[in-house]
Amino acid sequence: MGNIVAIVGRPNVGKSTLFNRLTESRAAIVDGEEGVTRDRHYGTSEWNGKTFSVIDTGGYVTNSEDVFEEAIRKQAAIAMDEADVILFMVDVQNGITDLDQSVANILRRINKPVLLVVNKVDNNDLNLDATEFYGLGYEKLYSISSNSGSGTGDLLDEVTNLL
Ligand code: GDP
Ligand code: MG
């Protein structure tokens, strides 16, 4: 296996926030509002003595539904081409959206390990809400808060197991 991890997901779920936390850089720009187009960004991270690259695939965001779909295809293409492990991020505070389903549909066709990451689980009540995302068809999910870093240790343990 190589050592590239890609973060994929619809806009505003917190991809860039996690990227910044993992890479301890400000290379990815966190946008408070949707509708801003950004390129993808690469950074380097280390966990359990393993060094790996992280791709924030969060660019291509616009307000048109059509372009959302196109953006998601591009994200998936990047992940398919370049990544060894894919983090599929969703937002517990929004629940499952149509765009999450679109991402899930595309990722189902990728023959690479995909970890479902439920972000914005900022407290224990939200931990219960996170179980809704089993509806996307994954056997396991990783509840994290990219803001606080909570849950990211377990996630990175699994990522480094897979690399
Ligand atoms: P991206 O579009 O997927 O890259 O999402 P961003 O990283 O730009 O984050 C979108 C918004 O969600 C920003 O306002 C972040 O501060 C916020 N956010 C990211 N992670 C968390 C989290 O763990 N908890 C909460 N409450 N907000 C978060
Ligand atoms: Mg982003």
ipTM of the complex: 0.99
pLDDT, tens digit (0-9, with 9 covering 90-100), for 121-150: 999 999 999 999 999 999 999 999 999 999
d(CA 132, CA 110): 23
Q: Are 159 and 47 in contact (CB under 8 A)?
A: yes
CA-wise closest residue to 47 among 83, 80, 21, 14 = 21
Ligand 1 contact via 106 beta carbon (within 6 Å): no
d(CA 148, CA 65): 31
Q: What's this model's pTM, rounded to 2 decimal places?
A: 0.89
Domains detected in the chain: 4-162 (3.40.50.300)
* Mutation probe of ligand 1 site: the residue of 26, 29, 146 with most atoms within 8 A of C-beta: 146
pLDDT, tens digit (0-9, with 9 covering 90-100), for 60-114: 444 555 667 777 777 778 777 889 999 999 999 999 999 899 889 989 988 999 9
